[in-house]
A and B are shown apart, each in its own frame.
Chain A
Amino acid sequence: MVSLTGYMNKKGQKRVIPGFGLTLGITISMLGIIVLIPLCSLVIYTAKLSPKQFIDIITGKRVLYAYWVSFSTAFVASLINAVMGVIMAWVLVKYEFPGKKIMDGMIELPFALPTAVAGIALTHLTTTDGWIGSLADKAGIKIAYTKTGIIFALVFVGIPFVVRSVQPVLTKMDNSYEEAMEILGATPFRTFRKVIFPEIFPALFGGFTMAFARCLGEYGSVVFIAGNKPFETEIAPLMIMSKLQEFDYTAATSIALLMLITAFVILMINSVIQYKAAKKAK
């Protein structure tokens, strides 16, 4: 998954390849129907509020805390996924071992499993009488109904992102650098830091931001495992749902808009980093 913006045609090049009108037309109309019109209606709806009302809603104490919970847990979960993702991608690309195919094939499973089902299963596993929870309980750790539980669920949801972005880069990278470093006597750690890490960084960062954004918005699996206590384990998407239940459309859309802007900013940051990386590569 490399940046979409990485490729630039030379300016002024004559178009010999056909199909511009058709493909652009379809792309734009699909984007319009599926993405743009709905998102505009969100903005229009929020625009009914005065700026002060809008700010009051999005800076309510509970709302702020919910953001904090969402951000901190999503960040920790994506960080875990980033580390584990790199290790997993490394193992899958560089090593041969029995069961590798299965391991490789499993990575996408979290995508296919409904988040609610994942949430239910994880909750059952991590409560104090669950398979994992009872072990953790002996060590004095409570997982379900705490922030740890939220992180647990989010790690599950975010597994595929980093692995799948780093994997192709590692595959393409040839071994000569590493071998050279090894002959020069560098430690594996140094090799990783100096040679491999800079290479995979853009992909890693791309995967990380995707996982982060996904985790930030995750709802289905988290509501089951979180406990949903205000000022403790209440996440931002739940705030939107709870505002909806109160028929407070404007508040719900305001919070939604803020999250949407956050998502867009995250994407833009990623886009810039990918663009720079692509430029550097050239």
Chain B
Amino acid sequence: MKKLYGVLKAVTCFVFIMCVAVVSSGCSVNKKDYIINVSYDPTRELYENYNSLFEKHWKEKTGESIEIIQSHGGSGKQALEVANGLEADVVTLALEQDIQAIADAGMIDDGFTDEFPDESAPYTSTIVFLVRSGNPKNISDWGDILKDDVGVITPNPKTSGGARWNYLAAWYYFESQGQSEDEIIESMRKLYENVLVLDSGARASTTSFVENGQGDVLIAWENEAFLSMLEYPGEYEVVVPSTSILCQPTVAVVDEMVKKHGTENVAEEYLDYLYSDEAQKLEAENYYRPVNKDIAEKYVIQEDERVIKEVPEDGRWMVNDIELTDIEHFGGWKETTRKHFGDNGFFDRIYE
């Protein structure tokens, strides 16, 4: 009995010490002079620039200084972390569905797509091809990447938000060619047979293509493609296919967390300011398509050109002659996920 008592005593003491230790290190300062923006992979450069713009704006407006702390990663993973308690004040993710998952966890109030203009998507993007300089495999549209000798790089739609857009853009092309469902699956199978590396995220794919020299064509976010051209001048070309998909990265305020942190105002303003002229320009300069039509107009490419050999000096990079479908065409994200990317969905069937 005495023995047991000793054990108990030690356990209590120890647990107490552990608790004190955790509390002392876990109890961060309650008053916050920063907000956390949880975003997805390709927006690093954009938000780095935008944050300094906003910090200035906030200082001018309120006289307070604010710091924005960024977190980047695969869109799905980021949403998962927020839903599990990552204390994000705002989320700026690749898919509406990822934000829906946070809303499903009860942290964001319903109707977040109506909270800000344009379905809460201040900028959009699309899916294009990045090929090696001179376009040695003559790739101009989706049909060309099915050829046997073409090596394709795209991330895994199961783990990457960007990859889902890639997949759907390809699907839409084959659909618009009048193919039946079985034929589309056959075409998609051919496409994914050509895939050399199926990375877990968009950035990892870009690295495989650019740094490690894998494949002939990278299916990528428009901004990723231009960024690669910018980083490696003269080595790559952007090819804009005839059809693609309108990607609407959604933004939202995480209601539960801003209430907890008392950061409603600044979080709200942070997202709202994304629609300001300055921010819209910044987005366009980072190769996102701003929703403000007047500003977007200034970045539209003049010549009738689908292949962009180098980053245009006049800043006009946007190819507008492209038929864009959107997620509504596929019946919304919920439906699409179940049908295409869920267990035994079309994507699984492609690989069977």
Direct touch of chains A and B (CB < 8 A): yes
Q: Does B159 contact A (CB under 8 A)?
A: yes
Q: Does A246 contact B (CB under 8 A)?
A: yes
When distances are taken between beta carbons in the complex, the residues of chain B under 8 Å from A24 are 7, 10
Shortest CB–CB separation between residue B4 and chain A, in angstroms? 8
Q: Chain A residue with minimal CB distance to B77?
A: A245
Q: Chain A residue with minimal CB distance to B10?
A: A25
When distances are taken between beta carbons in the complex, the residues of chain A under 8 Å from B187 are none
Q: Does B307 contact A (CB under 8 A)?
A: no
Binary CB contact string for chain A from 23 to 54 against chain B (1 if under 8 A, 0 otherwise):
11110111001000000000000000000000
Q: Once the chains are docked, how many angstroms separate the CA of A223 from the CA of B201?
A: 10
Given contacts A124-B211, A223-B200, contact A26 B10 (CB under 8 A): yes
What total of chain B residues lie within 8 Å of the partner, measured CB to CB? 41
Shortest CB–CB separation between residue A56 and chain B, in angstroms? 9
When distances are taken between beta carbons in the complex, the residues of chain A under 8 Å from B11 are 25-26, 28-29
When distances are taken between beta carbons in the complex, the residues of chain B under 8 Å from A25 are 6-11, 13-14
Chain A contact residues, majority secondary structure: helix
Q: Does A238 contact B (CB under 8 A)?
A: yes
Binary CB contact string for chain B from 122 to 148 against chain A (1 if under 8 A, 0 otherwise):
000000000000000000000000000
Partner of A227, one of B8, B18, B196: B196
When distances are taken between beta carbons in the complex, the residues of chain A under 8 Å from B160 are 245
Q: Once the chains are docked, how many angstroms separate the CA of A184 from the CA of B37?
A: 75
Given contacts A227-B198, A242-B158, contact A60 B6 (CB under 8 A): no
Q: Does B213 contact A (CB under 8 A)?
A: yes
Interface residues of B in 71-103 (CB under 8 A from A): 74, 76-77, 79-80, 83, 101
Q: Does A21 contact B (CB under 8 A)?
A: yes
Q: Which of B220-228, B324-332, B341-349 contacts A (4 or more CB under 8 A)?
A: B341-349
Given contacts A230-B351, A231-B351, contact A30 B158 (CB under 8 A): no
Whether the pair B7, A247 counts as a contact (CB closer than 8 A) is no
Q: Does B212 contact A (CB under 8 A)?
A: yes
Interface residues of A in 216-260 (CB under 8 A from B): 223-224, 227-231, 238, 241-242, 244-248, 251
Shortest CB–CB separation between residue B175 and chain A, in angstroms? 23
Shortest CB–CB separation between residue B239 and chain A, in angstroms? 23
Q: Does B156 contact A (CB under 8 A)?
A: yes
Q: Once the chains are docked, how many angstroms separate the CA of A94 from the CA of B204?
A: 45
Binary CB contact string for chain B from 40 to 80 against chain A (1 if under 8 A, 0 otherwise):
00000000000000000000000000000000001011011
Q: Chain B residue with minimal CB distance to A245?
A: B76
When distances are taken between beta carbons in the complex, the residues of chain A under 8 Å from B348 are 62
Interface residues of B in 1-30 (CB under 8 A from A): 3, 5-11, 13-15, 18
Shortest CB–CB separation between residue A236 and chain B, in angstroms? 14
When distances are taken between beta carbons in the complex, the residues of chain B under 8 Å from A230 are 198, 351
Q: Does B308 contact A (CB under 8 A)?
A: no
Interface residues of A in 114-160 (CB under 8 A from B): 123-124, 127-130, 144-145
Whether the pair B7, A28 counts as a contact (CB closer than 8 A) is yes
Whether the pair A21, B351 counts as a contact (CB closer than 8 A) is no
Q: Does B214 contact A (CB under 8 A)?
A: yes
Shortest CB–CB separation between residue A207 and chain B, in angstroms? 31
Q: Does A95 contact B (CB under 8 A)?
A: no
Q: Does A61 contact B (CB under 8 A)?
A: yes
Shortest CB–CB separation between residue B11 and chain A, in angstroms? 5
Q: Once the chains are docked, how many angstroms separate the CA of A33 from the CA of B17?
A: 12
Whether the pair A227, B197 counts as a contact (CB closer than 8 A) is yes
When distances are taken between beta carbons in the complex, the residues of chain A under 8 Å from B8 are 25
Whether the pair A22, B351 counts as a contact (CB closer than 8 A) is no
Shortest CB–CB separation between residue B185 and chain A, in angstroms? 15
Whether the pair A245, B159 counts as a contact (CB closer than 8 A) is yes
Shortest CB–CB separation between residue B98 and chain A, in angstroms? 9
Q: Does B238 contact A (CB under 8 A)?
A: no
Partner of B343, one of A60, A130, A144, A245: A60
Q: Once the chains are docked, how many angstroms separate the CA of A25 from the CA of B351?
A: 52
Shortest CB–CB separation between residue B190 and chain A, in angstroms? 15
Q: Does A189 contact B (CB under 8 A)?
A: no
Whether the pair A33, B198 counts as a contact (CB closer than 8 A) is no
Q: Does A20 contact B (CB under 8 A)?
A: yes
When distances are taken between beta carbons in the complex, the residues of chain A under 8 Å from B121 are none
Whether the pair A33, B213 counts as a contact (CB closer than 8 A) is no
Partner of A21, one of B6, B15, B101, B158: B6
Q: Once the chains are docked, how many angstroms separate the CA of A25 from the CA of B9?
A: 8
When distances are taken between beta carbons in the complex, the residues of chain B under 8 Å from A229 are 195, 197-198
Whether the pair A127, B212 counts as a contact (CB closer than 8 A) is yes
Pick the 7 closest A-B CB pairs, nearest first. A21-B6, A25-B10, A245-B76, A242-B158, A127-B212, A227-B197, A25-B7
Q: List 6 A-B contacts (CB under 8 A).
A: A22-B6, A25-B10, A60-B343, A127-B214, A245-B80, A251-B343
- Given A33-B18, A124-B211, output 8 extra A-B contacts at Cβ < 8 Å: A25-B7, A26-B10, A229-B195, A242-B158, A242-B159, A245-B74, A247-B83, A248-B343
